Amino acid sequence: MIDSHCHIAGPEFAGDLADIIARARTANLAHALVILAADDGPEIEQGRRVAEQWDAVRFSVGVHPHAAGKFAANPGDAPEVVDSVIAAQPLTRGLGEIGLDYHYDFAPREVQQQVFREQIRLARRRRLPIVIHTREAEDDTFQILEEENAGEIGGVFHCFTGDRAMAQRALGLGFHISLAGIVTFRRALELKEVAKLVPLDRLLIETDSPYLAPAPHRGKRNEPANVVRVAETIAELRGSDAQAIGDAARRNFERLFNP
């Protein structure tokens, strides 16, 4: 079992990290990719404490599209900040989450695009796979990925919520698809179809904790141990078992992130 995307270096977990890690170990998690916001000093600091306590942890570092506005005056500063965090954290294995979020539009779209683009270039220089966050921005996301030849470094569409056509598009560029707790929600019918079609060698699973707790924990703080529920749901949909899904996700994680 693995958790390909969680935010346990965030303030929600500062008080009970040891308990969270103990439950993740009990759930047999072999790897967890912890996301660090490059512009968030306390998160980077807590990331070090997480890594001291749990050897399964690796990091992905980036400027989230929500934070892109901080670099509106000079989008070229974003990759510099990311690069310095990567240089200081030897357990970094990914660049992200990066991308476009037109649902919240917390930063102007042109700024989001430029900050996304600059970070893909950094990922190419650093030879790191990218962790993509995209919401209501499908066409612009693919245009930038194609223009920047992001398929050469590869990566993952994290917390995938698109339809089957978008999944095929992501797979066609060579990317992995990571499913989060949303796939457990009763009404997520299209996503359940996506869960059936992703080839087993391109599938990842995640919690995106503290967000998106799977059923029956919906609405509560999520944590890495809950990724088992995601694997169980995908297994039910595919007529497989949770262990097989977890094992496949682990192999994919190891090939992609070289933990």
The site for Zn ion (CB under 5 A) is made up of 97, 133, 208
Contact 67, 99 (CB under 8 A): no
> How distant, in Å, are the alpha carbons of 32, 90, 94 from that of 17?
14, 21, 22
Q: How far is the CB of 244 from Zn ion (least distance, A)?
A: 26
Q: Which of 4/233 has CB closer to Zn ion?
A: 4
Q: How far is the CB of 240 from Zn ion (least distance, A)?
A: 26
Contact 63, 99 (CB under 8 A): no
Q: Which of 133/229 has CB closer to Zn ion?
A: 133
Give the number of other Cβ atoms within 10 Å of residue 15's Cβ.
Answer: 9
Q: Which of 58/133 has CB closer to Zn ion?
A: 133
Q: Which of 230/235 has CB closer to Zn ion?
A: 230
Q: How far is the CB of 36 from Zn ion (least distance, A)?
A: 11
Q: Which residue has the tokens 């997480």?
A: 50
Q: Which of 133/176 has CB closer to Zn ion?
A: 133
Instruction: Please report the DSSP string for 146-213 in residue order.
Output: HHTTGGGT-EEETT----HHHHHHHHHTT-EEEE-GGGGSTT-HHHHHHHHHS-GGGEEE---TTS-P
Q: How far is the CB of 188 from Zn ion (least distance, A)?
A: 17
Residue nearest to Zn ion (CB): 133
Q: How far is the CB of 71 from Zn ion (least distance, A)?
A: 18
User: Which residues is 60 bridged to in the sheet?
Assistant: 35, 94
